[in-house]
Amino acid sequence: MTEPLRLSKRMSELGLCSRREADAWIERGWVRVDGKVVSELGSKVLPSQRITVERQASAEQSKRVTVLINKPVGYVSGQAEDGYTPAVALIKAENRWNEDKAPEQFHPTQLRSLVPAGRLDIDSIGLLVLTQDGRIAKQLIGEDTAVEKEYLVRVRYLKPPGKLPDAELKRLNHGLSLDGKALLPAKVRWQNDDQLSFTLREGKKRQIRRMCELVGLKVLGLKRVRIGRVKLGDLPVGQWRYLGPDEQF
């Protein structure tokens, strides 16, 4: 027999919204199960039951913005820490890329609930996504995400004869473990004499730097250039743009 699930969890699984959004919509009476309004938090449903949401929920969701920023060195991805400034502080009218073609007009209310969907450490630059949309956050950082992230990494090999052996490059692709757990297969290849391209489907804390340490490489610079089908492109460092209506990760 199939076990019932919390309604908010099932809505998240179906990609309708995040669990937090689901709870808010349930409280407002915006969620129907098999055509009947369910407004009690913690309600459970069977996977076979049909869940629909009212137009107000869809309209509210459509107003939510997603922002792409080229994060500079020295900014943290999330909450301010140890005196360092969070990347969201760069989201202001004067920092918007003048080539952004998205129709949205910037307003400070868009900063409410604008959270990073994934990390980029303080010493790294490149593509960082901040979103108000729980569906996008789940897509990029949910447990079962399959969205690739691509990085360009400038490195130096610290052992003689000064060049990374092919066997160690193979280990970077598959064969390393962090925190006692094997890493998923990656795609790691040389871009030029001192730069590697890393494509990952997971994002452990400082993962690339730690992978490099395990094979004797020192990271000199790290830049994220792609998340799924969305590329950093020509977006200047420290500037931002909206995710376009025709773009999907």
**CB 153, CB 196: distance < 8 Å:** yes
121 is catalytic: yes
Task: Pick the catalytic residue from 23, 82, 121, 133.
Answer: 121
Largest CA distance in the chain: 71
d(CA 249, CA 242): 13
d(CA 13, CA 52): 14
Q: What is the DSSP letter of 221?
A: E
Any residues with CB less than 8 A from the CB of 3 and at least 6 apart, and which?
A: none
Q: Distances in Å between the alpha carbon of 207 and those of 71, 117, 193, 203, 223?
A: 18, 16, 22, 6, 13
Q: What are the start-end ranges of the H helices in 19-155?
A: 19-27, 55-62, 134-141
Residues labelled as active-site residues: 121
